[in-house]
Structure 1
Amino acid sequence: MRKAVLMMSVSLDGYFEGPNREIDWHLVDEELHRYFNQQVRSMGGILSGRVTHQLMADFWPTADTDPGPDSTEAMVEFAGIWRDIPKYVFSRTLEHADWNTTIVREVVPEDIRALKEQPGGDLVVGGAELAAEFMRHDLIDEFHLCVHPVLIGRGRPLFPEADSFTRLRLTESRTFGNGVVLLRYERVGSGDL
Structure 2
Amino acid sequence: MRPLRFSINVSLDGCCDHREMVPDEELHRYAAEGIARADALIFGRVIYEMMESAWRPVAETGVRPDWMPEWTEPFARSIHAARKHVVSSTLDRVDWNAELVRGDLGKTVQQLKEEPGEGLYTGGVTLPLALAEMGLIDEYEFIVHPRLVGHGRTLFAGLSKYVDLRLVGRREFASGAVALRYEPKR
Q: Does 1:13 align with 2:13?
A: yes
1:168 aligned partner: 165
2:107 aligned partner: 110
Which aligned pairs between 1:53-72 and structure 2 lie closer than 5 A? 53-64=48-59, 65-72=62-69
1:89 aligned partner: 86
Q: Does 1:135 align with 2:132?
A: yes
Q: Is the 8 A contact 1:10 1:16 kept in 2?
A: yes
> Which ranges of structure 1 fall in alignment gaps of 5 or more residues?
18-22
Identity of paired residues, percent? 35
Q: Which amino acid aligns with 1:40?
A: I
Q: 1: CA distance between counterparts of 2:2 and 2:118?
A: 6
Q: Is the 8 A contact 1:3 1:142 kept in 2?
A: yes
Q: Does 1:124 align with 2:121?
A: yes
Q: 2: CA distance between counterparts of 1:28 and 1:87?
A: 22
Moved more, 138-147 or 74-83: 74-83
1:26 aligned partner: 21
Moved more, 7-16 or 58-67: 58-67
Give TM-score scaled by structure 1 length.
0.90
Q: Is the 8 A contact 1:63 1:75 kept in 2?
A: no
RMSD: 1.4
Give TM-score scaled by structure 2 length.
0.93
Q: Is the 8 A contact 1:173 1:181 kept in 2?
A: yes
